[in-house]
């Protein structure tokens, strides 16, 4: 785990998601392969896949050392009949991140989440694409900021 940069925070969370083994035994990597992208999937991405975004802010109460925000994973699959399988993939994400904590390099933890199965997109978009959005509240004391404390 590394919190030395935002890029490394993404890598840490991506690694956690792809390598977590739930009680049922199927990892996210076995369902998605490596198709878990930052900010945007490539145009030629095959289904199913996920897109991660991170939104962080600091508070004065912690002298700018503590960031809190939302780590969002939106999962996509096609056709719409794959919605149930996509919900199963979302369950793996929940298992990986809900109550996750790591203090090996800085501190990163998650304690709650919101989840929404998104309705079909309106025409002219592809109504067969199904999506689940997962939003995890995270707190980070990143090395990128705390390394300057004396």
| Domains along the chain with CATH numbers | 6-146 (3.30.2000.20)
Query: How many whole angstroms separate alpha carbon 119 and alpha carbon 47?
Result: 17
**DSSP H/E element including 110:** strand 107-118
**Could you tell me which of 31, 119, 51, 123 has the C-alpha nearest to residue 80?**
119
Which residues have CB under 8 Å from 147's CB, separation 6+?
4
- What's the confidence (pLDDT) of residue 1? 64
Query: How many whole angstroms separate alpha carbon 22 and alpha carbon 81?
Result: 24
Per-residue pLDDT band for 149 (boundaries 50, 70, 90) equals low
Question: Could you report the per-residue pLDDT of 44-99, keeping only the tens digit for each?
Answer: 999 999 999 999 988 777 777 888 999 999 999 999 999 999 999 999 999 999 98
Question: Could you report the per-residue pLDDT of 15-36, keeping only the tens digit for each?
Answer: 999 999 998 788 999 999 999 9
Checking phi first, is residue 74 left (phi over 0); if not, alpha (psi -120 to 50) or beta?
beta
Query: How many whole angstroms separate alpha carbon 67 and alpha carbon 80?
Result: 37
Q: How many CB atoms lie within 10 A of CB 94?
A: 15
Cα–Cα separations (whole angstroms), residue 121 to 32, 51, 80, 130: 22, 17, 11, 9
3-class secondary structure, 100: coil
């Amino acid at each position: 785990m590394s919190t030395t940069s935002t890029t490394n925070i993404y890598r840490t969370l991506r690694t956690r998601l792809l390598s977590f083994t739930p009680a049922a035994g199927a990892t996210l990597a076995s369902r998605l392969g490596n198709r878990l992208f930052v900010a945007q999937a490539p145009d030629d991405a095959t289904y199913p896949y996920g897109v991660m975004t991170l939104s962080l802010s600091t508070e004065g109460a912690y002298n700018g050392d503590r960031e809190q925000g939302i780590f969002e994973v939106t999962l996509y699959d096609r056709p719409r009949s794959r919605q149930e399988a996509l919900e199963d993939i979302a369950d793996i994400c929940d298992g990986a991140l809900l109550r996750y904590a790591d203090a090996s390099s800085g501190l990163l933890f998650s304690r709650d989440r919101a989840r929404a199965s998104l309705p079909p997109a309106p025409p002219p978009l592809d109504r067969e694409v199904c999506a689940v959005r997962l939003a995890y509240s995270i707190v980070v004391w990143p090395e990128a900021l705390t390394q300057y404390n004396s």
